[in-house]
Amino acid sequence: MPFRKLPTLIVFISFLSSVLVAQNEITKLPIIPNPSISRLSEGTFSINNMTGITFDKELEASANYLKDYIEKGSNIRLQKGKGIFFIKDNSIKNPEGYLLLVIPGKIEIKAKTDQGAFYAVQSLRQLLPETFENGSYSSKNVYIPATSIFDEPKFQYRGMHLDVARHFFSVEFIKKYIDMLAMLKLNTFHWHLTDDQGWRIEIQKYPKLQEIAAYRNETLIGHYNTDPQQFDGKRYGGFYTQEEVKEVVAYAKSRHITVIPEIEMPGHAQAAISAYPELGCTGEQISAATKWGVFEDIFCPKEETFEFLEGVLDEVLDLFPSEYIHIGGDEAPKTRWKACPHCQNLIKEKGLKDEHELQSYFITRMEKFLNEKGRQIIGWDEILEGGLAPNATVMSWRGTNGAVEAAKQHHNVIMTPTSHLYFDYYQSENDDEPLAIGGFLPLEKVYNFNPIPKELSDEEAKFVLGAQANLWTEYITTEQQVEYMVFPRMLALSEMVWSKPENKNYDDFVQRVEHFHKRLDALGINYANHLYEIEGNLTANGYELKTLTNGKNIRYSLDGSEPNLDSKIYSNPIPINENTYIKATVFDDGTKLGNTFSQAINPHLAFGKKITLNVEPNKAYSGSGATGLINGISGSDKRFGDKEWLGFWGDDVEITIDLGEEKQIQWIKTRFYDAQGQWIYAPKNIEITFDDGRRFPMRPDTSILHPKKSIKYVSIVTNIKSRFLKIKVKNFGTIPEGKQGAGNKAWTFIDEIIIK
């Protein structure tokens, strides 16, 4: 029976199950994101100059997209007529779903909407040679394997964010970025247009936003935590004209991507206030911020400010047809409001409890304005504080608690936690990675994130619309670096939000990523390739080495020498009985791939012994668990999120170590991360207690200077006999006003506890 005449989706699925499963071998297609149902069968379809294309009118745009793609990528010119068929099919319930059938006689794409047909084209695109991407395919024929696919997304919101306020990127690059999203079936582009360091959108009613707020006097060099901070002394900035914005929005629409603008309020407003000082509480002239962080000058909730913001949003609404407008709502210090007579009078006048409820009043008022215009607001999860605006959607970034709270209140939620979806975090433990804000977010962690918090019931889970990855650009200065930070992690994001859990398999995904790299090469995308890196783990059997891709050898040395073709091939865990320095490299057919892996392991008295904690580390930063604190391996000096650092959010931690028998303890040493720009503070104090009851209180030692001043040490010389040690770590507490994360609990990050 010709597939074109199959009447319903149910018949098609039955067709896949009964006919294609009967093939001698079923091979997974190398498509990202992984389709719902896909089968590779016998035979091919040939596209050449004799191939025709025909379409139902509603699917014309996607048909033309495919035609243009093929003709720009090769010398093949498609004709009108039979060969490739685009067929509108109302039996497909999901408007983003599609059916794709490739058989020796034809290609059929069925979809209810052009959006579904467009996603079918993106899957078909990945079955064509990579050389189509750069126009270098030269043959007169291209053969596509016989294939059957039924596909639809798991989540309706599949987003990617880009911050252009910290660093500005061209319209052409924004279009390329949108093309990357479209290729991976992402459907939302969150455009972060305003912040303390720059205002990036033309507002004709307020020309000083372009003249003043779009520029800063200089920019921080290096990391925020560097002491002393240094600046480049160069004026920096730019903005998008309204015509350019319209161009971007139209371009995105043609690829079925909704552009959601973000206009920050009430915080992250220093650039805007630099242009119009009367919008702040002090009325004093300030400049756009020249470094990163959280700043006290925020919008003052007075009528003049609301008139300004409504005027801005009127023009924004004319440019962006999106249902949602993002209004920020995050990191708004209340210092100015507490000292402002107008704000304090407004709190009394409106019967508000405090400044947090004043922020809720601010957000609710702006929401009402947008609702009256037929739009909805999205805000970062701080908009929960002081009471959530009636119709707001919450973007949960400070973990998942905000999402759980909002969903239980029956508010829509978009998941974007820092721990799994902040692509400005390091993606490798290599020392040569480009400067990043901190943290550690490898590909696997992105891939394995579940956007549905386990605390939600099935009914509450329906309020989770999907997920989004964020790229903040404080440390990302070029377009090439943007690409490096998002790829290949964007591939993991796409599969996480599109594919059903039963269709996800990380090992299989890695093999498809390796194949997809060829397409990224052809597209000229500067992706990060960490597939040939080695991961090491200490187990009860010894030190294990593994690499992500199949069919390759790991060669290693134990004396710190560089591995070569004469080095041992890894096959079993390496016993660790003494100080060991492992170096290992992946080889394929005699060729070295990737960087050399290095790991020093230094056993000590607590190595392999029993350790317990009074609280579990935060699930976002659980590292290697409690045993990671005594496994002989120190964490990275550069990032706090690797598997050796354990993170605790606001908890006092009590650590008990059982050495098994009484031991002579000469000294104890450990260290803490202290990166206040990332809400991480060294503990207030530490106390170590021994069997005989002796206690040693101390504070992190700032006299021991480390090249990274964000590392704080604790060390003690004891010469005491003891079997048990108890180490109490007192959390810093609440982050003070004027600091990044003010009002939130501080994080504590602890590294290896070395006992000699």
pLDDT digits (tens, 9 = 90+) for 275-321: 999 999 999 999 999 999 999 999 999 999 999 999 999 999 999 99
Domain 157-487: state its class: alpha beta
Q: Is the pLDDT of residue 644 over 60?
A: yes
CA distance 659 to 651: 25
In terms of Cβ atoms closer than 10 Å to its own Cβ (0-12, 13-18, 19+), residue 645 is buried
Mean pLDDT of the chain: 92
CA distance 344 to 595: 58
pLDDT tens-digit readout, 563-576: 999 999 999 999 99
CA distances from 188 to 191, 257, 324, 380 (A): 9, 5, 11, 16
Higher pLDDT pick, 659 / 1: 659
Q: Nearest-CA neighbor of 102 among 177, 21, 43, 185?
A: 43
Q: What is the pLDDT of residue 701?
A: 61
CA distance 204 to 479: 28
Burial 41-61 (b: 16+ CB within 10 A, else e): beeebebbeebebebbeebeb
Q: What is the pLDDT of residue 677?
A: 79
Which option is the CATH number for 610-755: 3.40.50.1220, 1.10.260.40, 3.30.230.10, 2.60.120.1190?
Answer: 2.60.120.1190
Least confident of 16-25, 29-38, 425-434, 486-495: 16-25
Token digits of residue 675 = 């990166």
472: left (phi over 0), alpha (psi -120 to 50) or beta: beta
Mean pLDDT of 681-703: 84
Q: What is the pLDDT of residue 528?
A: 96
Q: Is the pLDDT of residue 4 over 60?
A: no
The band of 620, judged by pLDDT with boundaries at 50, 70 and 90, is confident
Q: Is the pLDDT of residue 654 over 80?
A: yes
Q: Give the residue numbers annotated as catalytic, written as ranges.
A: 195, 268, 331
Q: Nearest-CA neighbor of 463 among 414, 399, 501?
A: 414
Residue 746 contacts residue 729 (beta carbons within 8 Å): no
Angle at CA 97, nearest 5°, toward 94 and 98? 135
pLDDT tens-digit readout, 718-728: 889 999 999 99
Q: Is the pLDDT of residue 22 over 70?
A: no
List of residues 6+ apart from 212 with CB closer than 8 A? 274, 275, 288
Q: What is the pLDDT of residue 708?
A: 53
CA distance 727 to 709: 23
Mean pLDDT of 165-186: 98
CATH code at 3-151: 3.30.379.10
Percent over 70 (pLDDT), the chain: 95
In terms of Cβ atoms closer than 10 Å to its own Cβ (0-12, 13-18, 19+), residue 524 is exposed
Q: Is the pLDDT of residue 76 over 50?
A: yes
Distance from the Cα of residue 341 to its chain's centroid:
41
Q: Is the pLDDT of residue 255 over 70?
A: yes
Q: Is the pLDDT of residue 466 over 80?
A: yes
List of residues 6+ apart from 710 with CB closer than 8 A? 225, 673, 674, 675, 680
